[in-house]
Amino acid sequence: MNKWISFMVFFALLILSTLILFVPSCKLSPQGIVFLHGDFASPVLLETRIQSTQTIDFVFSEALSKFSAELKEKKTGEVLDSRFIMREEDGRFMVSLQLEEGTKAGEGYELHARIFDVAGNSCDILFEFSGFNDRIPQVIINEIQTEYSKPKAEFIELYCQTSGN
């Protein structure tokens, strides 16, 4: 019986403290419930296109008012010099990042960016990528040797017609 009374006292105090803390925050104004209107959604990165060793394009869901970015080489931590151009193209909102020196094929890079839309909503982006390979060789599959009893390739012979990476 004593445990039952202590449980009831605890439960009553819990309900009382909840009412004291949270009921005042639910108070309605004389006009009723007020709904906020406006754009509260952060811009979304829709697409990334690495165009060349010196150009990376980013496509966003809405127009941007501010863009800041820092591009680092992952291995050394060296920050690369870059500038950007914000533009609208065919109803798409783009930022084109132009690098002073091109990326090295196969090297790792990371881009840290902070973007703001015209309503002031912001978003942080971390984008990791490998350096663009602009020296792709022309390759032909010369021969495929299979084991006749199994549907697996034993080896594939490639012929490179041009030099490259």
Q: Where are the domains of the chain?
A: 45-130, 135-165
Q: Does domain 45-130 have CATH number 2.60.40.1220?
A: yes
- Considering only 94-98, 114-118, 134-138, which range has the smallest mean pLDDT? 134-138
Mean pLDDT to the nearest integer, 37-59: 90
Tokens describing residue 115: 């973007």
DSSP string spanning 68-100? Answer: EEEEEETTT-PEEPEEEEEEEETTEEEEEEEES
Span 7-21, pLDDT tens digits: 787 877 777 676 565
Predicted local confidence at residue 94, as pLDDT = 93
SS3 breakdown of the chain: % helix, strand, coil, rounded to 5?
15, 45, 40
Residues in contact with 92: Cβ distance below 8 Å, sequence separation at least 6, in sequence order: 59
Q: What pLDDT is attached to residue 8?
A: 81
Q: Would the pLDDT of 146 be above 80?
A: no
* DSSP tag of 107: -
119 token code pair: 């309503």
pLDDT above 90: percentage of residues in the chain: 45
Q: Is the pLDDT of residue 133 over 80?
A: yes
Label residue 43 exposed, middle or buried (CB < 10 Å: 0-12, 13-18, 19+): buried
- pLDDT tier for residue 29 given thresholds of 50, 70 and 90: low
Whole-model pTM: value is 0.64
Percent of the residues in the chain that have a pLDDT greater than 70, as a whole number = 87
Query: Is residue 27 pLDDT above 60, yes or no?
Result: no
Q: What is the pLDDT of residues 57-114, one digit of tens each?
A: 999 999 999 999 999 999 999 999 999 999 988 888 999 999 999 899 889 999 999 9
Residue 10 exposed, middle or buried by CB count within 10 Å (0-12, 13-18, 19+): exposed
User: Is pLDDT at 144 greater than 90 in this prediction?
Assistant: no
Rg (C-alpha) for the chain, rounded Å, is 29
Do 28 and 109 meet the contact criterion of CB atoms below 8 Å apart?
A: no
Residues 6+ apart with CB under 8 A from 111: 56, 69, 70, 71, 72, 97, 125, 126, 127, 128, 129
Instruction: Output the pLDDT for position 157.
Output: 86
